[in-house]
Amino acid sequence: MAQPDFDLRDFTPYLLAVAGEVASLEFAAVYKARYGMTRSEWRVLFHLGRYGPMTATEIGARARLHKTKISRAVRALELKRFVSRETLEEDRRSERLALRAPGRAAYADLGTAAAAFEARLEARLGAEEARDLRRMLRRLADLD
């Protein structure tokens, strides 16, 4: 063996993956159970709710989602009557995506749930550590 002292529990990508799975799956269960939504759909919904109407490309840049994911997520949200599309006059290739009333309701509901989830997490880690954690993750994710 090359480096017998190198433990997987000290390998940050592994820890990120496991911690991410634990956290994401737990919250994913909420929007999946309540609205039958996928993770991509949740991210799109959240971005539209939080930052207002925008195009698919803008969502992609903000939400770190591949355009195919967005395309399929938007179609699914459209079928749920959560979002509306409107072709832009100034560039008829792109469309303005906006939340409809049911979408806004779902956003408010899930936003509350997300805030509660985050609060529980902070309680577990402690406010200061949770803040530090977020700061480091933001750096890792190039989100600065």
Q: Contact residues for DNA (CB under 7 A)?
A: 38-40, 55-57, 60, 66-75, 91-95
Strand 95-99 relative to strand 83-87, pairing: antiparallel
19 scored as a contact of its own copies (CB under 8 A): yes
Q: Which of 31, 35, 46, 82 lies at the binding interface for its own copies (CB under 8 A)?
A: 46
Q: Which stretch binds its own copies (CB under 8 A): 53-61, 70-78, 86-94, 123-131?
A: 123-131
Say if CB 65 and CB 20 are below 8 A apart: no
Q: Does 16 bind its own copies (CB under 8 A)?
A: yes
Instruction: Identify residues 65-84 at the interface with its own copies (CB under 8 A).
Output: none
Cβ 32 to DNA, closest distance in Å?
9
CB 12 within 8 A of CB 31: no
Q: From DNA, its own copies, none, which one binds at residue 128 (CB under 5 to 8 Å depending on kind)?
A: none
114 burial (CB, 10 Å; 0-12 / 13-18 / 19+) is middle
Selection from DNA, its own copies, none that 3 binds (CB < 5 to 8 A by kind) is its own copies
Which of DNA, its own copies, none has residue 93 at its interface (CB below 5 to 8 Å by kind)?
DNA
CA separation for the pair 104, 48 (Å, rounded): 9
The closest alpha carbon to 73, from 34, 47, 111, belongs to 47
Q: Binding to its own copies by residue 61, rule CB under 8 A? A: no
Q: Read off φ and ψ for residue 11, nearest 5 degrees.
A: -95, 110
